[in-house]
Amino acid sequence: MTPPVVGELAENRVGSVQQVLVALADPVRLEMVRRLRNAGSPVPCALLYDGINKSTATHHFKILREAGLTERLVVDGHTHQRLRTEQVNAAVPGLLDSVVGTANREVGSS
Amino acid sequence: MTPPVVGELAENRVGSVQQVLVALADPVRLEMVRRLRNAGSPVPCALLYDGINKSTATHHFKILREAGLTERLVVDGHTHQRLRTEQVNAAVPGLLDSVVGTANREVGSS
């Protein structure tokens, strides 16, 4: 059974390691990726940020998507973001574990 | 026996994972770190970059140093940069292996 997902499935490849680092180096985007990684499943967009407006968030989602880190899905009529974990791990092995593991420790949530 | 090293030994801690990502996300600095990691020992500054002038390189070295990634040493009268491998690995486990390993594959040198 496939989940009831309609929407844009990213076909773009994960970017170069330098492009991926640029995508992760912003504090807002790092927090988005941290939440996505910890969730382990698609997350409604609005749950991925605090303290910024929707258009700023959309800008950051676009940068993550263009780097190949995330893709956008529509689940039950609501836009979600999904981390492309498998593809990112294949492109830059160990990066997500390293970065999110450290970010989690810094936030004190692990 | 300690090596004949005179100079500034960084006492600063490694920065947050976000600060480290910013330091690595620039192509010039990523290449500097890649060469330092591959060398495994202090490297004369001039061997760590191509195509930029010395003052630009100094700026990039400063950002790496302030993030706690590198330190500056004087060996036999020549300024070298050293990667603070142990400290970086303790602060962000796995990051150097992941990033430099991928950068090496992209450059085709490994």
Which pLDDT belongs to residue A108?
86
Instruction: Answer whether residue B1 shows pLDDT above 60.
Output: no
Which pLDDT belongs to residue A21?
98
pLDDT in tens, B17-36: 999 999 999 999 999 999 99
Q: Which residues of chain A have pLDDT under 50?
A: 1-10, 110
Closest in B25, B27, B95 to A98, CB measured: B95
Cβ neighbours of B91 in A, within 8 Å: 102
pTM of full prediction above 0.80: yes
- Angle, to 10 degrees, between the axis of helix A17-24 and the axis of helix B27-39? 120
Among A80-84, B7-11, B50-54, the least confident range: B7-11
Proportion of chain B above pLDDT 90, given as a percent? 86
* DSSP string of chain A, one letter each residue: ----EES----PPP--HHHHHHHHSSHHHHHHHHHHHHH-S-EEGGGG-SSS-HHHHHHHHHHHHHTTSEEEEEETTEEEEEE-HHHHHHHSTTHHHHHHHHHHHHHT--
Say yes or no for a CB contact (<8 Å) between A21 and B24.
yes
Closest in A17, A24, A27 to B103, CB measured: A17
Q: CA of B106 to nearest chain A CA: how many angstroms apart?
A: 8
The stretch B79-103 carries a mean pLDDT of: 98
The stretch B80-90 carries a mean pLDDT of: 97
Q: CA of A12 to nearest chain B CA: how many angstroms apart?
A: 18
Cβ neighbours of B92 in A, within 8 Å: 98-99, 102
